[in-house]
Chain A
């Protein structure tokens, strides 16, 4: 009995945290908070990063016969 009580005392905070985390995740899921964050913040900022990224001009690549790579 003592062991069970000890285990319960030990596990109870873990279970409490897990339960709260589960509830928060369910709220995120149900109200589509993940989608809303991605749409309003993550995607526009990532898109801006890609828009500003310097890119080489690939049309300057010479067109000719290519040799096998060195193994």
Chain B
């Protein structure tokens, strides 16, 4: 057994090792300095006690009941340096602290257990946790992912954003429990009945493609949990897969998302839960390589369904529709289950309801200050559910959020009252620091109202005729994340200007994915346009899931530099300007 200290040192919990470590510590301790430190602390405490006489008890009571005002929170003081852990969690006032404790922390811990039972069984969960790194190392740290996203949030923003997180957590449990229940590796190498009823697909193949079989077969994206979710929840995990990919001689310069996706196979850390696989070239040629490598490692029937890049060409539409139909034929032939038009209609119409509500949310975000969803919840929830397709949990979450949003509008509650700039985030986000916008609001008053990935898949699915359905599904497929507005042609990438206007944004946080050749190619044109249009834009370099290239601290420093040297602004919370969190999840 080992113990990891807050300085990230690992100590073997063996008596000999412990005594050795203790002896070393006793030997190296500067007792004079330690005594001086204790004396200093005692003096400071005495000073504090003397100062108690001047305490404003009214203010103290108000801080306890309502929480401190934004500028006095000193959220940076709560961190244990380096770890991202809290000395103690934030006191948000009685009402919001109790809400966080009861309805977020306790509620989600309880539901993490009940969802395991609901979507599968405990033995499979334990076996999966002990077998897969992406499972054990990530799942248990989920509540800290909530903490990072909700820092400083109050009232409706705290509630609505947490419901988004709850939806994603529940769907994640459903997916990994479905994988574990049918995983050959967890069941003695044997294919059970569930294995024969699953379709595996690349995380960037939309779940909507499989609606015609939703009642009889279950489509589960292969890398959504092992790769995508882990990057957000615990970014240590993915580094193993990136390194594994490079360890067999594959190049290190393609997109690290593609590297991580095939690294899972190199390390044999993929669950074997389905007889067939559907892959995609989305988002770029790096993903084509992923498909080729998956075809090799999986060694089973695989259908590659490429999505066109320059998709405005009308000739491309027919081609894309034929690709989808060929995929459907492949599923029919391989799985022996006929295409069901009725099932497609049922799920497409249900999914349209989610799209309608998303439009309502955008309307509130664009035209009022009462939008109760923070930047990270908006971005992650939208990309997750639109990629995943229709599932009951999304409707449940939307019903809660609708209620909260309507109350906020009715009572005119501004959840982000310290907004100095309305920000739009463009291009692909750093997955290891998706909660940068929570930090940016708390520290600088930068309110990330909308982001590029949220605006993808903006397509209603008609169900009146087969031809219309296919036409819309092809469009939907082409408007995938990282496709339409990242490598889908400069006219789509430059839709930024229209969205800035529509969402009344005055600042852009421009993600600069250092290993995305598509977006690197248009970097200079963006710089020209920003200058020409006199737009404040902060370039944020990153390497998608890999925190080693540009750390979170460096990202913060870039934003800090812009806010002080260009905007000449003072931080709202100075303790958040610079802190070390290199070893945090």
Binding site for B on A (CB under 8 A): 25-26, 29-32, 34-36, 38-50, 55-56, 58-59, 61-63, 66-69, 71
A61 surroundings in chain B (CB, below 8 A):
296-297, 299
Question: Which residues, 129 to 148 on B, are CB-close (under 8 Å) to A?
Answer: 129-130, 133, 136-137, 140-141, 143-144, 147
Looking at the assembled complex, report how far the CB atom of B416 sits from the nearest CB atom of chain A, in whole angstroms.
25
- The reply to whether B334 and A30 contact each other, CB–CB distance below 8 Å, is no
A-B interface contact total, Cβ < 8 Å? 102
A48 surroundings in chain B (CB, below 8 A):
2
**CB within 8 Å for A32 and B85 given contacts A40-B3, A50-B133, A68-B333:** yes
Main SS class of interface, A:
helix
Looking at the assembled complex, report how far the CB atom of A26 sits from the nearest CB atom of chain B, in whole angstroms.
6
Main SS class of interface, B:
mixed
Binding site for A on B (CB under 8 A): 1-6, 10, 83, 85-89, 101, 105-106, 129-130, 133, 136-137, 140-141, 143-144, 147, 191, 196, 234, 236, 240, 248, 265-269, 275-276, 295-297, 299-302, 333-336
**CB within 8 Å for A69 and B137 given contacts A32-B86, A44-B2, A59-B266:** no
- The reply to whether A29 and B105 contact each other, CB–CB distance below 8 Å, is yes
- The reply to whether A35 and B86 contact each other, CB–CB distance below 8 Å, is yes
Of chain B, the residue at the smallest CB distance from A49 is B130
Looking at the assembled complex, report how far the CB atom of B21 sits from the nearest CB atom of chain A, in whole angstroms.
14
In Å, the complex CA distance between A40 and B275 comes to 40
A25 surroundings in chain B (CB, below 8 A):
101, 106
In Å, the complex CA distance between A50 and B129 comes to 10
**Cβ-defined partner of A66 (8 Å) among B240, B267, B300:** B300
**Cβ-defined partner of A40 (8 Å) among B4, B296, B301, B336:** B4
B268 surroundings in chain A (CB, below 8 A):
55-56, 58
- The reply to whether B10 and A55 contact each other, CB–CB distance below 8 Å, is no
A63 surroundings in chain B (CB, below 8 A):
295-296
In Å, the complex CA distance between A13 and B76 comes to 42
B301 surroundings in chain A (CB, below 8 A):
66-69
B191 surroundings in chain A (CB, below 8 A):
69
- The reply to whether B248 and A40 contact each other, CB–CB distance below 8 Å, is no
- The reply to whether A50 and B136 contact each other, CB–CB distance below 8 Å, is yes
- The reply to whether B105 and A42 contact each other, CB–CB distance below 8 Å, is no
- The reply to whether A30 and B89 contact each other, CB–CB distance below 8 Å, is yes
Looking at the assembled complex, report how far the CB atom of B334 sits from the nearest CB atom of chain A, in whole angstroms.
5
Of chain A, the residue at the smallest CB distance from B268 is A55
Of chain B, the residue at the smallest CB distance from A43 is B137
- The reply to whether B88 and A34 contact each other, CB–CB distance below 8 Å, is no
Of chain B, the residue at the smallest CB distance from A46 is B136
- The reply to whether A44 and B143 contact each other, CB–CB distance below 8 Å, is no
Can you report 11 A-B residue pairs in the complex whose CB atoms are below 8 A from each other?
A31-B89, A32-B89, A35-B85, A40-B5, A41-B3, A43-B137, A46-B129, A50-B133, A67-B301, A69-B191, A69-B275
In Å, the complex CA distance between A10 and B131 comes to 45
